[in-house]
Structure 1
Amino acid sequence: MREFSTPSTISIPDSGNLTDDVVNHSREAADEVVFRRRVAAGLEDVTAREFHAEVCATAKGLIAAGVEAGDRVAVISRTRYEWTLLDYAVWFAGAVTVPLYESSSVEQVAWILQDSGAAAVVVEGPEHLARVRQAQRSGALDDLSLVWSLSDQALDNLGRLGQDISDETLERRRATATPLDLATIVYTSGTTAAPKGCMLTHGNFMFELGVTVEELGEVFDDEEASTLVFLPLAHVFARIIQVGAVKRRVPLGHSSDIKDLAADLDAFRPTFLLAVPRVFEKVFNTASQQATAAGHGKLFGRAANAAIAYSRALDDKRVPLRVRTQRALYDKLVYSQVREALGGRCRYAISGGAPLGERLGHVFRGIGVTVLEGYGLTESTGALTVNLPHAHKIGTVGRPLPGTTVRVADDGELLFRGGQVFAGYWNDDRATAQALDPDGWLHTGDVGEVDDEGFVRITGRRKEILVTTGGKNVSPTLLEERVRAHDLVDHCLVVGDGQPFIGALVTIDRAAYAGLAGTSGLPREVADALSHPVLVSAVQAAVDDANGAVSQAEAIRKFVILAQEWTEEGGQLTPSLKLKRHVVTREHRSEIEDLYLF
């Protein structure tokens, strides 16, 4: 059993909470810009004093409305300045933030609001409000009595509501939480239909950010440092960057629509970004396509190869003159344009959520944007390991953060222990016991290895959760069950791990097909009807029903109907008729690959 520990380098406070940063910044650097928010006229600076005042006003409104210390307050919104403002206001009120993806389905909204016992929810606009109202009509949300909408001036209304709450009352409530108290419950996909709520404490965040921003000092402490967050703040990855930026007083901007991302990057010009691999893939592929369209495809290909050669030479600590010369040439012709797509000033990017791939890592480092790949889970408040500017090994996810230990179990599973490991799952002791052993080791479900220098490499997955290149965790179980619920469907295998979207393989129930064929003019054999409109339409209906239970990012976008049947005799099913996922995936590798051909 292999084990590697990184010694702790800082002292983590044993008192206080995440709101202390906002209070201290207002006192010590009141006029320093900590946010840049988009308004009608462009970008508007928000100082530490202004942010503190807005947070206090909103928190007072929550208290006046009846939100008590420890209450859960849900937020359903795209990534925007108000999301961050609400997050800190909830903490100032001594409450617990429950984030939901803005694309969450009515079923997901109902489950999370019910399971968390949310007393209040703030939504972004009419669509989100309609989902909450529909969930309320189910009769299972008796604890939810307070609902506000940002589009209906929620912040202004809360500000007016809280005018009679004194500063002393707010300060007593703000100081209620300790490092042991809950800061947020983040719901993540599980192997069952219902998402599980990860309980993350103020102490979890304080540990995680205390060591992360220290180790990434070159990224966060640059005098011109700034960052733009565009990933969903419902994901712990984006929340960590948010809290880290606030902690280090790094100006933070928000981009709420991927269609506006290019313009936002150009306007904000961040020095570092966090993103999932899909973003880097899109940036590179777009640049390649533009070069090809302009008749410079071969030039771009040579430039990409030169960037890889330069990056690999950096690992050898010796860059040949020829490689340096090539890079200098291509920097003017090609690389500068790719950097401009990221705003022009970006030197570092932090990647997580899915594997980046060595080639892409070398390409971006070669063009002047070092992508620091890390690894973590919602259950670990984000990062457990990360590559650093001074300790970087492309193809790995870095070494454990200070105060963190990794262990490779006998079966190859990666186990971690550290102050960022969560307190357990909300209302689910059984799931907690499965994830956390009595000695405090977090069982990740991922298989990996640790080299002699402590760098961790992920080599596989023990759990069935799929992770798209966009970093979205998707549980296939619910989708498969819903598709199989259709009479015509025999089995369904949902795929998409390491792919840009979710797809599915579907087999047909022979008896049901025979009945349909007798009345609809379908061919006698399934193999002759795979592309027949009647059959395709029926399967599409099953897929549409399944997609109604999940968010858009989790939805099945493409499927293929197979002529084969999956049976125990054929080796695809167990004696208890469970699908042998690895067998089916291996046998239908070509069909799966075809799903992702464009």
Structure 2
Amino acid sequence: MSDTKTLIENRPPSVANLFLDRVAATPDAEAYRYPVPAKSGEGPDEWESLTWAQTAERVSRIAAGLVDLGVQAEERVGLASSTRIEWILADFAILCAGAATTTLYPQTNADEASFILSDSASKVLIAEDVTQLQKARDTRAELPGLVHVVVIDTEGLTAEPGDPEGWVLSLAELEARGTALLEKQPGIVKERVGALGAEQLATLIYTSGTTGRPKGVRLTQDCWSYMAKAMVGTELLSEADVQYLWLPLAHVFGKALLSGQVEAGHLTVVDGRVDKIIENLPIVQPTYMASVPRVFEKVYNGVAAKARAGGGAKYKIFLWAAEVAREWAKVTQDNFRRTGKASAPLGLELKHKIADALVYKKIRAAFGGNLRACISGGAALAPEIGFFFAGVGVHILEGYGLTETSGPAFVNPGEAYRTGTVGKPLPGNEVRIADDGEVLLRGPNNMQGYHGQPEKTTEVLESDGWFHTGDIGELSADGYLRITDRKKDLIKTSGGKYVAPAEVEGQFKALCPYVSNILVHGADRNYCTALIALEEPPLLDWAAENGLGGKSYAEVVAAPATLEMVEGYVKQLNEGLQRWQTIKKFKLLPRDLDVEHGELTPSLKLKRPVVEREYKHLIDEMYAGAREA
């Protein structure tokens, strides 16, 4: 721990410094691998690589290009793109130019993108393609400070009469400008990096607002330098690792992973296409991968549905193996906590070995076969799903953090991980639990504040550095944190009982293999209800086996047999709940919730107010005629 303390205390002012140090240390090591279309135009993607030295060459050209465009220290450069190698190159280049990245999700609509670019006073926008460029074109009148748009993928790019001269240029043209400047001023990028201060603005990330406009979270150069050192200090990452990176880099979790990689120096395989994850895993063979809980839920539901489709015998074997996995994980984790050894009784070990041969090894192979651990963050993982994967040998290390804390402030430690907790604080972080149960955090990774909103900043950030997370949690005697719910999401029934909806929702996700999303409602009511959205592929497989084959998703959801099937899982759920937590009524939604309709954030978190507002009529139906206490 003293070495870790030294590592953190002696950190440089920015990740840009760490990046140049990494390039100098291992110039010829493979830094990134990424897919490109097959040269023949047909067949699977081909994979190309960049060494750290090659990465630095492109970063320097882009950084110098930004300098040539007139970008000054701390001025904002917007970055609107999916996860791809150019996102990473552009972000490092922005930092190395001394500027600050404003991240935008590619799904962001033109109105909100315009607000973010205007509020951040972004001078340049790096846009993935003509779709992202068009958003800026459509709102150009509202963006007088946006002097250039740089387009990465120029397919379909044409000049428009309304474009000011030189307003749009390609990434290749930007790099050419950078090359020309570097010939005149070869030291310009190193000069910009050398001038960086720890408290300079590095990143503006706008939180997904459930109501009103999002807030810009100001993260300094030091936030990322600290994060890089702390993540390696936890022994979470090593130079030998292979990371599969598909998470949206506009999200703070993805940004933190980039910082950690620079310090560790390992290979990162980059492909943001979510529909390629299952196909890519056996090719990439990662040693670690970060994800959000929704992906693990999908994998679990997919495995369960496949087993069910294989017939009654296969499904019984799966259910038995799943129960063995959970029991084995709970017992071994408990024994490790007490004795330091992950042991289980002989009979359980024998059952676990049989289940491994029949079920678990196939699941591990689907993850590529080399997976050391997965890091889960962004939302709560249902403990029963966590225990299932722990028993299978896919170790999910849950972490916890917020945009305002530069991503992970807690993570589970390696072998000593405890499913259902988010682990221990990263080195250099402090935590305390307020009288009302709220989790408060203090550390070098805390934000400067909300951009241009000092009154909002003082609501959550105390003068002595303590940040109010808005989450309710419990600390164990040995420092493991368990998040029980969002402070504002706690339900108080009209009978005065408190219900943590996320806890009930997580239990249901572990029981029902067809659920995609569930929202428990009951504030100021005398009983709890639920809105349930089902996962289309496994649901339609179930439908085909139950006389509903050929029907649409909406038709299957409306069928009495589907209602009866889900009701069975709700009854199972209620058996394990306190009376006031039980779901008395539920409604199936006609479609799944999604980002496009604004019901989920880009990191797949449920926007409760949006969903409750949209489906108010269904909620009202569930309480129609009920006597409220």
Matching residue of 1:134: 138
Q: Contact 1:106–1:549 at 8 Å: present in 2 too?
A: no
1:128-178, Cα deviation, whole Å (9 max, x unpaired): 111121122xx3211101101111283211111122212212221222212
Q: 1 CA distance for matches of 2:349 and 2:86?
A: 46
Which of 212, 223, 235 matches 1:193?
212
Q: Contact 1:99–1:186 at 8 Å: present in 2 too?
A: yes
Q: Contact 1:198–1:425 at 8 Å: present in 2 too?
A: yes
Equivalent residue runs for 1:399-410 within 5 Å: 399-410=424-435
Report the count of equivalent residues: 500
Matching residue of 1:427: 452
Q: 1 CA distance for matches of 2:448 and 2:220?
A: 7
Which of 143, 146, 150 matches 1:144?
146
Q: 1 CA distance for matches of 2:275 and 2:100?
A: 32
**Which moved further from structure 2: 242-251 or 548-557?**
548-557
Matching residue of 2:247: 231
Matching residue of 2:123: 119
Q: 1 CA distance for matches of 2:530 and 2:59?
A: 43
Matching residue of 2:237: 220
Equivalent residue runs for 1:508-527 within 5 Å: none
Q: Contact 2:227–2:259 at 8 Å: present in 1 too?
A: no
Q: Contact 1:213–1:244 at 8 Å: present in 2 too?
A: yes
Q: Contact 1:307–1:363 at 8 Å: present in 2 too?
A: yes
Give the aligned CA root-mean-square deviation in angstroms: 3.3
Q: 2 CA distance for matches of 1:122 and 1:169?
A: 21
Structure 1 pair 404–550 and aligned structure 2 pair: CA distance change class (3 A): closer
Q: Contact 2:239–2:264 at 8 Å: present in 1 too?
A: no
1:386 and 2:388 aligned: no
Equivalent residue runs for 1:16-35 within 5 Å: 16-35=13-32
Matching residue of 1:298: 316
By how many angstroms is 1:412 displaced?
1.2
1:25-65, Cα deviation, whole Å (9 max, x unpaired): 22221110011111234111211110010101111111112
Q: Contact 1:95–1:183 at 8 Å: present in 2 too?
A: yes
1:226-267, Cα deviation, whole Å (9 max, x unpaired): 111111101001111122112211111122221111122222
1:311 and 2:311 aligned: no
1:328-359, Cα deviation, whole Å (9 max, x unpaired): 22222211221122222112000111111221
By how many angstroms is 1:571 displaced?
10
1:50-93, Cα deviation, whole Å (9 max, x unpaired): 00101011111111122122110011111111111100010111
Matching residue of 1:594: none
Q: 2 CA distance for matches of 1:9 and 1:319?
A: 38
Structure 1 pair 566–228 and aligned structure 2 pair: CA distance change class (3 A): closer
**Which structure 2 residue ranges, 5 or more long, are not aligned?**
39-45, 155-168, 336-340, 491-500, 510-518, 520-528, 537-589
By how many angstroms is 1:191 displaced?
6.0
Structure 1 pair 362–167 and aligned structure 2 pair: CA distance change class (3 A): same
Matching residue of 1:377: 402
Q: Contact 1:361–1:394 at 8 Å: present in 2 too?
A: yes
By how many angstroms is 1:556 displaced?
5.5
By how many angstroms is 1:499 displaced?
10
**Which moved further from structure 2: 156-165 or 429-438?**
156-165
1:314-334, Cα deviation, whole Å (9 max, x unpaired): 122431122222222222221
- The aligned amino acid for 1:194 is R
Which of 163, 166, 177 matches 2:196?
177
Structure 1 pair 394–274 and aligned structure 2 pair: CA distance change class (3 A): same
Which of 14, 32, 37 matches 1:40?
37
Q: 1 CA distance for matches of 2:83 and 2:35?
A: 12
Q: 1 CA distance for matches of 2:406 and 2:533?
A: 22
TM-score (norm 2): 0.73
SS of the residue 2:414 aligns to: coil
Q: 2 CA distance for matches of 1:188 and 1:556?
A: 18
By how many angstroms is 1:187 displaced?
0.5
**Which moved further from structure 2: 82-91 or 249-258?**
249-258
Q: 2 CA distance for matches of 1:308 and 1:366?
A: 6
Equivalent residue runs for 1:24-173 within 5 Å: 24-41=21-38, 42-136=46-140, 139-152=141-154, 154-165=170-181, 166-173=185-192
- The aligned amino acid for 2:345 is P
Structure 1 pair 497–106 and aligned structure 2 pair: CA distance change class (3 A): farther
Structure 1 pair 104–500 and aligned structure 2 pair: CA distance change class (3 A): farther
1:278-303, Cα deviation, whole Å (9 max, x unpaired): 11111111111111111211111111
Equivalent residue runs for 1:192-591 within 5 Å: 192-215=211-234, 217=235, 219-221=236-238, 223=240, 225-295=241-311, 296-315=314-333, 316=335, 317=341, 318-463=343-488, 547=597, 559=615, 561-562=617-618, 564=620
Structure 1 pair 549–382 and aligned structure 2 pair: CA distance change class (3 A): closer
Structure 1 pair 550–562 and aligned structure 2 pair: CA distance change class (3 A): closer
- The aligned amino acid for 1:382 is G
Q: Contact 2:62–2:90 at 8 Å: present in 1 too?
A: yes
1:507-530, Cα deviation, whole Å (9 max, x unpaired): xxxxxxxxxxxxxxxxxxxxxxxx
Q: Contact 1:113–1:141 at 8 Å: present in 2 too?
A: yes
- The aligned amino acid for 1:561 is H
Q: 2 CA distance for matches of 1:549 and 1:312?
A: 34
Q: Contact 2:206–2:217 at 8 Å: present in 1 too?
A: yes
SS of the residue 1:97 aligns to: strand
**Which structure 1 residue ranges, 5 or more long, are not aligned?**
1-6, 471-475, 477-493, 502-539, 573-582, 584-598
Q: Contact 1:104–1:550 at 8 Å: present in 2 too?
A: no
Q: 1 CA distance for matches of 2:534 and 2:257?
A: 25
Identity score, percent:
33
Q: Contact 1:87–1:97 at 8 Å: present in 2 too?
A: yes
Q: 2 CA distance for matches of 1:192 and 1:496?
A: 20
Q: Contact 1:355–1:498 at 8 Å: present in 2 too?
A: no
Q: 2 CA distance for matches of 1:156 and 1:200?
A: 29
Q: 1 CA distance for matches of 2:24 and 2:202?
A: 23
SS of the residue 2:125 aligns to: strand
Q: Contact 2:439–2:470 at 8 Å: present in 1 too?
A: yes
By how many angstroms is 1:548 displaced?
7.9
Q: 1 CA distance for matches of 2:533 and 2:362?
A: 27
- The aligned amino acid for 2:351 is Q
By how many angstroms is 1:464 displaced?
5.3
- The aligned amino acid for 2:310 is A
Q: 2 CA distance for matches of 1:121 and 1:289?
A: 44
By how many angstroms is 1:99 displaced?
0.6
Structure 1 pair 271–128 and aligned structure 2 pair: CA distance change class (3 A): same
- The aligned amino acid for 1:201 is T
Structure 1 pair 437–150 and aligned structure 2 pair: CA distance change class (3 A): same
Structure 1 pair 237–122 and aligned structure 2 pair: CA distance change class (3 A): same
By how many angstroms is 1:565 displaced?
9.2
By how many angstroms is 1:111 displaced?
0.9
Matching residue of 2:555: none
Q: 1 CA distance for matches of 2:285 and 2:94?
A: 30
Structure 1 pair 549–127 and aligned structure 2 pair: CA distance change class (3 A): farther
Structure 1 pair 75–97 and aligned structure 2 pair: CA distance change class (3 A): same
Q: Contact 2:428–2:444 at 8 Å: present in 1 too?
A: yes
